[in-house]
Amino acid sequence: MTAAPSTQSRLDTTRPLAIAVMAMGGQGGGVLVDWIVALCESQGWSAQSTSVPGVAQRTGATVYFIEAMPIPQDAPRGLKPVLSLMVVPGEVDIVIGAELMEAGRAIQRGFVTPDRTTLIASAHRHYAVAEKQVPGDGIGSSEAVYAAASVAAKRFIAFDMAVLAEQAGSAVSAVLFGAVAAANVLPFARTAFEETVRASGVGVAGSLRAFALGYERTQSNATSDAPPLVPAANAKTYPALTPVGHAGYDALVARALKAFPPETYDMVGAGLQRTVDFQDVAYGGEYLDLLRGLLALDQETNGAARGFALTRTAAKYLAVAMAYDDVYRVADLKTRGTRFERVRNEVAAAPDQLVYMTEYMHPRMDEVCGSLPRWLGRFIENRPGLFKALDKIVNKGRRVQTGTIRWFLVLYMLGGMRRFRRGTLRHFNEVQHRDAWLDRVRAAAPKDYGLAVELLATRRLVKGYSDTHARGQSKFDKVMAGAAKLEGRPDAADWVRRLREAALKDEDGIALSGALKTVDSFV
């Protein structure tokens, strides 16, 4: 009998190509991963993808992981490599971030290394919940991500891919696919990438346009040795103080142009538009009357030499105080055509598609009383038993769809009741609070101009609706009480600014409590 030939197993030590894709819902991360896997397989490679969902952003951030490697020509038929199921820090060749902070999180997790990793990211931002919930400015620093990437990555490719995707009528994933092709991090021709998109059969024309834009932009960046430029922050723009064709509003504009110095036109224009939009032309006139009195105070205290800082600050925060968020305002904003159009654009709805928005309505009895005539609202508030019983009825929370006739009409009619706002309990309370604040400013300005400006800016703390408004007003009142203890000190303005910044640091006011204890120690 002839002995069977012996077989010997051989371990293939070829290192797979590791790719991590960081994307959040709606950015096409799954589509991008499918394209990369299909591309590799079409070129005779073996590829495998896995994903781990998360909740870091609005609709969840997902980490996708791909491992791919070429199959040797002499490999036994049917034999496939065993590939990893999860990203290993320090062992990733390509990291793709569909949004800038996703690239930052990849760096934090150790996926990006200077000896190995090409980092490709879109420079646009979709703010995370953690950034939005901070009372002040909680937006993460793009500059910090760029600085970290320049050190952590072997190669860093970044530009605003969302803009290119919008131009092409596609998703950012297609632009990213074009950037990957142009970066030469995968050993495949451009035509292979494009054939992969065509083979998908969905949104091919738009995807190919976006792919081409991403490819060309990446190639143009590759001709320069300079690092990617941090996108410039969007400059704040204000409504121009110019006529719009409405007789009443245009008369207010003419009055403002005559009464106020040019240095204040931007803020006055923004404030006037906000107050008129909130109520009516007469309310805009009331705004200008109050602001004109503060300008006179500014002029008396040599404000011209300071660029009319007091008037500019008053123009901004007086409008904020007068255009508060109440039941009527919320209902009005939720039923505006511009809002429906914005939402349709955000979800990229086709003209023949229906879009329904589900609103979570959670009114408290405080808001209900505030929307009633002053006498009736006060009557209910002064009877705790009645107030509590009614609160149990209204404070249940309900989800409504403003795309339906029933709920749209309810909110539309409620928004239209703003014409009765001046007679409500909420308006009376807001006017009382506003006037007490302005009285403090008027008293401070002749003695300490800087303090008066900071007292005006403290109104920034009062914003929002319902619980948010109550917390903000509580912080405002605490800062104003602290400011009273600081009057007469040469550094009073600096300390009021510190108190305000402390109030903006956290929702619970822990930082503000600590700062107020320091102020108490001065007394």
Confidence of residue 247 (pLDDT cuts 50, 70, 90): very high
* pLDDT the model gives residue 215: 94
**Cα separation, 76 vs 91, whole angstroms:** 28
Q: Mean of the pLDDT values across residues 319-344?
A: 91
**Cα separation, 434 vs 294, whole angstroms:** 13
- pLDDT of residue 84 exceeding 90: no
- pLDDT of residue 228 exceeding 70: no
Domains of the chain: 17-222 (3.40.920.10)
Report pLDDT digits (tens) over 493-511: 999 999 999 998 888 889 9
Confidence of residue 417 (pLDDT cuts 50, 70, 90): very high
| Of 5-14, 317-326, 422-431, the least confident | 5-14
Confidence of residue 62 (pLDDT cuts 50, 70, 90): confident
Close Cβ partners of 86 (under 8 Å, ≥ 6 residues apart): 50, 52, 65
What would you report as the CA-atom Rg of the chain, rounded to the nearest whole angstrom? 30
| Of 68-82, 231-245, 290-304, the least confident | 68-82
**Cα separation, 244 vs 253, whole angstroms:** 9
**Cα separation, 144 vs 457, whole angstroms:** 28
Report pLDDT digits (tens) over 89-134: 888 999 999 888 888 888 988 999 999 999 999 988 877 666 666 6
Close Cβ partners of 103 (under 8 Å, ≥ 6 residues apart): 22, 95, 97, 119, 121, 145, 149, 158
Report pLDDT digits (tens) over 448-479: 999 999 999 999 999 888 888 888 999 999 99
- pLDDT of residue 252 exceeding 90: yes
**Cα separation, 231 vs 125, whole angstroms:** 11
**Cα separation, 471 vs 464, whole angstroms:** 9
**Cα separation, 411 vs 500, whole angstroms:** 35
* pLDDT the model gives residue 169: 86
* pLDDT the model gives residue 56: 47
For the chain, the average pLDDT equals: 87
Which one, of 98, 176, 104, lies nearest residue 139 by Cα? 104
Q: Mean of the pLDDT values across residues 14-41?
A: 86
Report pLDDT digits (tens) over 348-397: 677 888 888 888 877 789 889 999 999 999 999 999 999 999 888 887 77
Pairing mode of beta strands 94-97, 17-24: parallel
**Cα separation, 338 vs 341, whole angstroms:** 5
Give me the residue label for tokens 């096409």. Answer: 28
How much of the chain, in percent, has pLDDT values that exceed 70? Answer: 88
* pLDDT the model gives residue 272: 96
CA within 13 Å, CB half, 406: 3
Which one, of 76, 68, 174, 61, lies nearest residue 108 by Cα? 61
Structure tokens at 496: 């009021």
Q: Mean of the pLDDT values across residues 245-258?
A: 95
Which one, of 318, 316, 295, lies nearest residue 307 by Cα? 295
More confident residue, 344 or 476: 476
* pLDDT the model gives residue 182: 94
Confidence of residue 304 (pLDDT cuts 50, 70, 90): very high
- pLDDT of residue 5 exceeding 50: no
Give me the residue label for tokens 């500059």. Answer: 143
> Phi and psi for 459 in degrees, rounded to 5?
-60, -15
CA distances from 311 to 73, 315, 328 (A): 78, 6, 29
- pLDDT of residue 141 exceeding 80: no
CA distances from 257 to 4, 404, 430 (A): 102, 44, 28
Report pLDDT digits (tens) over 308-324: 999 999 999 999 999 99
- pLDDT of residue 181 exceeding 60: yes
Which one, of 522, 475, 523, lies nearest residue 499 by Cα? 475
Confidence of residue 240 (pLDDT cuts 50, 70, 90): confident
- pLDDT of residue 482 exceeding 70: yes
Which one, of 330, 323, 318, 314, lies nearest residue 453 by Cα? 314
| 449 dihedral zone (left: phi>0; alpha: psi -120 to 50; beta) | alpha
- pLDDT of residue 135 exceeding 90: no
* pLDDT the model gives residue 233: 58
Pairing mode of beta strands 61-70, 45-53: antiparallel
More confident residue, 37 or 225: 37
| Measured distance between the N- and C-terminal CA atoms of the chain, rounded to whole angstroms | 107
Q: Mean of the pLDDT values across residues 393-419?
A: 86
Structure tokens at 264: 């204040």
Q: Report, in this order, helix, strand and coil percent for the chain, each rounded to 5.
A: 55, 10, 35
Sheet strand arrangement including 94-97: 45-53, 61-70, 17-24, 94-97, 118-122, 155-159
Q: Which of 67-71, 144-148, 328-332 has the highest mean pLDDT?
A: 328-332
93, burial (CB in 10 Å: exposed 0-12, middle 13-18, buried 19+): buried
* pLDDT the model gives residue 11: 57
Q: Mean of the pLDDT values across residues 42-55?
A: 83
- pLDDT of residue 6 exceeding 70: no
| Of 219-228, 248-257, 439-448, the least confident | 219-228
Q: Which residues pair with 95 in a beta bridge?
A: 20, 119
Structure letter (DSSP) for residue 270: H
Confidence of residue 1 (pLDDT cuts 50, 70, 90): very low
Structure tokens at 144: 């910090």
Close Cβ partners of 166 (under 8 Å, ≥ 6 residues apart): none
Q: Using DSSP, state whether 50 is helix, strand or coil.
A: strand
* Amino acid at the residue 167: Q
